[in-house]
Amino acid sequence: MSKKLLIIAFAVIPFYINAQELGASDISEQSIKRYKNVINNKRNIVSFIEYSLEEKGLPRHLKNLALIESGFNSEIVSSAGAKGIWQFMSEHASEYGLTDRDRSDIYRSTKAAISSLANLYNKYGNWITVVAAYNCGEGNIQKAMDKANSKRYTDFSKYLPNETINHVQKYLNASYATGEINEVLSDYHGTHLFSVTSGNSYKKFIPEKIDFNLSSTQINSAYSFEVIAKFLNINKKDLLDWNTHLKEELDKSGQGILYLPNEMMASFILNQDEILTQSLNL
């Protein structure tokens, strides 16, 4: 990166070389490209995670935790025995009702990870400490806080395992690459108020006539109702009942809003490329 570009990057994104401060430690073009390539290669999974996070009121940048944990590889198993895209250990997984097999299930493990992250945020109040606690456990966080006599990550981080410190730094680097580091840091410094809610953040966009148990996403006319219904294992009539005006919208403009029950919408987003492929092959 040229000296001129480096100056611009410093002006736009907070970046500190002081170990007691927080910021990206690697803003190289190579690093940014590496993170973005992983996201682009796993776009379906990333879209599913982002949808699931927003559905529960959590920020999209938390997908970066799965990015640095596993690269969105559901089959990966660490040397310590952590498994799946969220790298659940057996004990942690069991706390959220996950079986050993569930740890490699993208849908179930993501739902469990979101619950875990929400609980941690409610306890610590910032995502930096949440990422640290997710890596080393709440017990180690408490010990570090006690030693530092402080609840601020920049004060107690020196008492954490090096692996955890590096993990937080990777999260900051990944968030820089995805353009979300300002949100992470403003949350930490208390300049951006964020509250975890159990509600669906999409509800306010759904017309009143639509049941709030439904979620929405935009599709185009290439999608087949028959394929969507078959893939989701539902009757076409039920699909049309939830989407009474969708066919008209697709015929008129080529695009429309698809409504599905929350659980089915998650499955649709996770598999939408396959649904589209099957639709085009009819």
DSSP structure class, residue 80: T
Mean pLDDT for the chain? Answer: 84
Q: Say if residue 226's pLDDT is above 80.
A: yes
Region 46-58 average pLDDT: 90
Domain assignments of the chain as residue spans, ordered by start: 3-188, 203-280
More confident residue, 72 or 234: 72
- The answer to whether residues 178 and 35 touch, using CB atoms and an 8 Å cutoff, is yes
Q: How far apart (Å, rounded) are the C-alpha atoms in residues 243 and 258?
A: 6
Q: Say if residue 11's pLDDT is above 50.
A: no
Q: Say if residue 142's pLDDT is above 50.
A: yes
Least confident of 54-63, 124-133, 234-243: 234-243
Give the per-residue pLDDT at 243: 83
How confident is residue 191, by pLDDT bands cut at 50, 70 and 90? low
Q: Say if residue 188's pLDDT is above 80.
A: yes
Q: Which two tokens stand for residue 24?
A: 């990206």
Q: Give the torsion sign (CA, 46, 50, 55, 58).
A: positive
Give the per-residue pLDDT at 190: 84
Q: Say if residue 205's pLDDT is above 90.
A: no
Region 76-92 average pLDDT: 94
Q: Say if residue 10's pLDDT is above 80.
A: no
E-only strand ranges, the chain: 214-220, 255-261
Q: Choose which CATH entry (1.10.530.10, 1.20.210.10, 2.60.120.260, 3.30.460.80) describes domain 3-188.
A: 1.10.530.10
How confident is residue 20, by pLDDT bands cut at 50, 70 and 90? low
Q: How far apart (Å, rounded) are the C-alpha atoms in residues 1 and 33?
A: 13
Least confident of 36-40, 80-84, 171-175, 239-243: 239-243
Region 169-185 average pLDDT: 97
Give the per-residue pLDDT at 249: 86
Region 138-166 average pLDDT: 96
Q: DSSP states of 15-56 as a string?
A: ---STTS---S---HHHHHHHHHHHHHTHHHHHHHHHHHHHT
Least confident of 54-68, 86-100, 137-151, 211-225: 211-225
Distance of CA 161 to the CA centre of its chain: 25
Q: How far apart (Å, rounded) are the C-alpha atoms in residues 24 and 181?
A: 8
Give the per-residue pLDDT at 1: 42
Region 129-138 average pLDDT: 97
Mapping DSSP to helix (H, G, I), strand (E, B) and coil, where does residue 211 land? coil
Single pTM value for the model: 0.70
Q: Say if residue 13's pLDDT is above 50.
A: no
- The answer to whether residues 195 and 57 touch, using CB atoms and an 8 Å cutoff, is yes
Q: Say if residue 41's pLDDT is above 60.
A: yes
Q: How many helices (H) and strands (E) does the chain have?
A: 15, 2
